């Protein structure tokens, strides 16, 4: 009697959507260090820490820096919009001033007499 063996591929049970859902639900941390040395003298160290997870999971583990960050607040966005409008008005005024006060070339020559 011969028995048949089935080869199971690593992607057979999970689609990309399943994998993404699992990563966002559980979270994943990718860490790495890069060091540049010349003759045992460390010139540069780069430490990389990457956390990939859902917002709910991030809040659950205490990572919520965006909650109180001023760049993400509604008040900051309104201030930014006001600043942009002021700059646009200022630019329009400068453009109209430049258009009305263009220097017209003169055809007169200054002759130096000695």
Q: For residue range 37-80, what is the model confidence (pLDDT) as tens digits?
A: 999 899 999 999 998 888 888 888 888 887 777 777 777 778 88
Q: Are residues 23 and 59 in the same domain?
A: yes
Residues of the domain holding 55:
15-64
Report if residue 8 sits inside a domain.
Answer: no
Cα 34 from Cα 38, distance rounded (Å) = 13
Cα 95 from Cα 83, distance rounded (Å) = 18
- What is the structure's pLDDT at 110? 59
- What is the structure's pLDDT at 36? 93
Q: Are residues 50 and 88 in the same domain?
A: no
pTM confidence score: 0.42
Report if residue 37 sits inside a domain.
Answer: yes
- What is the structure's pLDDT at 58? 86
Cα 24 from Cα 51, distance rounded (Å) = 10
For residue 111, pLDDT over 80 is answered with no
Cα 61 from Cα 57, distance rounded (Å) = 6
Q: Are residues 58 and 91 in the same domain?
A: no
């Amino acid at each position: 009697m011969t028995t048949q063996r089935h080869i199971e591929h690593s992607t057979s049970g999970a689609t990309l959507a399943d994998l993404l859902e699992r990563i966002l639900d559980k979270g994943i941390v990718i860490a790495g260090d890069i060091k540049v040395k010349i003759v045992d003298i460390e010139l540069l160290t780069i430490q990389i820490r990457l956390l990939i997870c859902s917002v709910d999971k991030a809040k659950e583990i205490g990572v919520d820096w965006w909650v109180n960050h001023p760049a993400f607040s509604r008040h900051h966005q309104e201030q930014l919009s006001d600043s942009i409008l002021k700059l646009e008005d200022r630019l329009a005024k400068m453009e109209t001033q430049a258009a009305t006060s263009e220097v017209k070339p003169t055809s007169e020559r200054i002759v130096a007499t000695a």
